[in-house]
Structure 1
Amino acid sequence: MNRNSGRRLWRFGLVFLLAATIVAGCGSRQAGQQAPQAVEVKAMAVVQQDTPITYEYVGQVQAKNEVKLQAKVSGNIVAKMVTGGGMVSQGQPLFQIDRRQYEAAVLSAKAQLAQSQATLANSRRDTERYRQLAAQNAIAEQTYDTAESASQQYEAAAAANDANVQKAQADLQDTLIVSPIDGRIDVNDLSLGSFVTAGSTVIATISSIDPVFVQFSINENEYLKMMQLGNGSLPGTWGSNLKLVLSNGTEYPLAGAVEQIDRGMDQNTGTITVKAGFDNPQKTLLPGMFARVIAQGEVRQNAMLIPQRAVQELLGKTLVNVVGDGDKAESRVVKMGPRIGNLWIVEEGLNPGDRVIIEGTTKIQPGAQLKVTMVGLNDLQSSAKQ
């Protein structure tokens, strides 16, 4: 074999080796593509059942009555009979304004009244004498008329002085400030020595505590829906058995009822204000607290329900991953309705019997092969309690 033949043989072997390597690599990649690993997920069949609908609103506790306490007379506070933040009852004395000038005013008014009454009595005696003399033609008729007119003037003066006495006595009584309602007084009440101006200075604020209002708002669409369900009025089941969930997640033990509905829609928010009354014997609810108001609505027949955690929101769309034909992942655009506990009513996009993926959604892509473990509603509720 010559030298050229050896070189050709060596080159041929090298090309054969490279080709075998490439074929082997392609074969391994094709084998990997042909046998993808199935993604393990948990799924639940769409639940279909008659479902009572509840409506939830954000509410705020308000006092049914709230009074800004102001004095009817001016003066310095000389005594306090209440501690800020304490409970007070209607008619309970709270503050005492210096009464000395008002006692003096009563004495002065009574003295003026006594003087005018004495003058009136003397004028009446003179008038009676003049009447008798005029009847005997012993004096001119004009003299009698003048005496009678003077008597009437003294009578009016006496009545005015009597009114002054009553006003002075009322001012004296108003130096003692009493609570106009049952409730709790705030902690920003004035201190001893403070000067109050009649009808201007706020001495304290008193809020009624039992019962209370919880104010919330409903939008126009919900209002119209409720009116349609109630044939022209709000359904009794919606407004008569309201539940309250406090900010710490606990349910208030007493039910409430709608007592007031505003006259019209708020032009800025498009909502109508509603006030519900709740008894508050334990003084748990305080003005300013926030709570969730839950109202019972209609019963949705054969509603389709899925877990809330199965729903995804992306770029303005609501999506649900389902197990499609051949156990392959499929994404569906859905329209959701009201939430019921940890479930959600599906309005459009799913059918009864569809299998909705509730765990493992972050690991799958549409068309991915799935290894599905089915769970039931009881399993879902048990895991939620744990």
Structure 2
Amino acid sequence: MNQKSIICLTILLLLVVTGCGKQQASRPPQEVAVKAMQVMQQTTPVTYEFVGEIVAKDEVPIKAQVSGSIARKLVKGGDTVRAGQPLFEIDQRKYLATVADAQAQVAQAQASLSNVSRDVRRYQKLADQGAIANQMLDTSESQAEQIQAQVNAYQAKLDQARNDLNDTLVVSPVDGKIGVNELSAGQYVQAGSTVIATVSTVDPVQVRFSMSENEYLKFARMGNSPDDWGKNLKLILSDGSEYPVAGHLDQIDRGLANQTGTLAMKASFDNPNQLLVPGMFSRVVAVGETRQDALLVPQRAVQEMLGKTFVTVVGSNSEAVSKPVKLGPKIGNLQIVEEGLTIQDVVVVEGFAKAQPGSPLKVTMIGLNDLAIPVAK
């Protein structure tokens, strides 16, 4: 190949490359298909959520008042029991014998008292007639008082023996459900120390949760006392469903916890169907202030990066525009936007990950029903 041919080939290649480059440069960028919706504006109450744990309002450890071996179990673990219902029976033989012995002592003392009382009455008549010295009457009356004291002491022992016998039947002090870790028949229990079983109340139950110091200050500065926001609490269960019964604030701790800096609280919820079980986790929802004309967007439209939050909006030429925003509280699955958007903005809800700033957009407008997002009320 001569030099002239090489030069011609080179020029030809340059023309081809230049032509391809012009064709590529002239090709318009491909539109990104997105779904978007108009920023909403409405007056809405602001809700606050707190992670909570369901606990029994009362958990009563059952302890026997007398010592002995468990003779019978009258319930099974997990049974629902009523206050006063017998749960266990402790071997009664020793306590029956003690009652019988105490009864004999009382009877013997009462017999002695009866004899001395007759002597006192007889000596009283003789003393009135001057037939005996008053000292004999005084001695007889003193003996009667001593025996009466013995009768009283033996009667007290008899009463205690009868109480001990009654206490061999262990009953539930409250309505509730008995645990499954109860003792079995034949096991020995020590009076006042051995826990035979535990009964937990089931209706109502409490939800234990904590409020941070900042959240507490926010409520206080808004003028919302616990008597205001704690009246009508909602409960969201772990599966996302809302518990149908409203609750109320029941207890507030005396101060912030030293280690966590949070204020512990308990809310009470009626539990007639026993759906709520101690140990379940849930979210307590409290209504705070009402925001007038709040701007709302779906939470899924909000993007976070390097500690900043922003959304993608549809620009005037249907291009992607990234806008930083300042977020307020969450309202269900919606998010209040305090700064960065206006009511005229159209926010990209789906597809923004592929839409770089400046990218042309093929926009499909949708509404809340298309996203299955509940409207804030």
TM range (shorter): 0.7 to 0.9
In the superposition, the TM-score normalised over structure 1's length comes to 0.85
> Corresponding residue for 1:346?
337
User: Which structure 1 residue ranges, 5 or more long, are not aligned?
Assistant: 1-6
2:323 equivalent to 1:332: yes
Whether 1:200 aligns to 2:188 is: no
| TM superposition shift of 1:80 | 2.1
Tell which structure's C-alpha radius of gyration is larger.
1
Between the aligned partners of 1:359 and 1:105, the Cα distance in structure 2 is: 82
SS for the counterpart of 1:284 is coil
Would you say the 8 A contact 1:61–1:213 is kept in 2?
Answer: yes
**Counterpart Cα distance in 2 of 1:235 and 1:37:** 59
2:271 paired residue among 259, 274, 280: 280
| C-alpha spacing 1:140/1:279, structure 2 compared with 1 (3 Å) | closer
Q: Which runs of structure 2 are paired with 1:60-71 in the superposition (5 Å)?
A: 60-71=53-64
- Mapped to 1, the partners of 2:43 and 2:174 lie a distance apart of 48
**Offset, 1:169:** 0.4
Preserved contact between residue 43 and residue 372 of structure 1 (Cα < 8 Å): no
Cα distance in structure 2, aligned partners of 1:67 and 1:250: 31
- Do the aligned residues in 1 keep the contact of 2:226 with 2:249 (CA within 8 Å)? no
Paired residue for 1:270?
261
CA distance in 2: counterparts of 1:42 and 1:220, whole angstroms:
40
1: CA distance, partners of 2:157 / 2:303: 78
Partner Cα distance (1:342, 1:178) in 2:
49
Q: Is the 8 A contact 2:64 2:196 kept in 1?
A: yes
**CA-to-aligned-CA distance 1:32-54 (integer Å, 9 cap, x gap):** 34544143233333222212212
User: Structure 2 length normalisation: TM-score?
Assistant: 0.87
Secondary structure of 1:217's match?
strand
Q: CA deviation at 1:116?
A: 2.5
Structure 2's unaligned 5+ residue stretches are none
For 1:210 and 1:235, locate their aligned partners in 2 and report how far apart those are by CA, in whole Å.
22
The 2-side partners of 1:82 and 1:107 are apart by 30
Once superposed, what is the RMSD of the aligned Cα atoms? Answer: 2.8
Q: State which drifts further: 259-268 or 24-33.
A: 24-33
Q: Is the 8 A contact 2:95 2:161 kept in 1?
A: yes
SS of residue matched to 2:48: strand
User: How far, CA to CA, are the matches of 1:100 and 1:228 in structure 2?
Assistant: 67
Q: C-alpha deviations, 1:284-325, integer Å up to 9, x for none?
A: 112222222222222211111112122122222223223345
- Indicate the residue corresponding to 2:360 in structure 1: 370
State how 1:1-386 maps to structure 2 within 5 Å: 11=3, 14-15=6-7, 17-19=9-11, 21-22=13-14, 24-26=16-18, 28-29=20-21, 31-33=23-25, 35-40=27-32, 41-126=34-119, 136=130, 139=133, 141=135, 148-230=141-223, 233-234=225-226, 236=228, 238-324=229-315, 326-366=317-357, 368-376=358-366, 378=367, 380-384=368-372
CA distance in 1, matches of 2:264, 2:176: 25
Q: For 1:153 and 1:221, how far apart are their aligned partners in 2? A: 72
Kept in 2: contact 1:215–1:274 (CA 8 A): yes
More deviation in 31-40 or 197-206?
31-40
Three-state SS of the structure 1 residue aligned to 2:309 is strand
Distance 2:318 2:26 in 1: 17
SS at match of 1:313: strand
The answer to whether the 8 A contact 2:314-2:361 is kept is: no
CA distance in 1, matches of 2:335, 2:24: 40
Label 1:111 to 1:235 Cα distance change in 2 as closer, same or farther (>3 A). Answer: closer
Superposed displacement of residue 72, structure 1 = 0.4
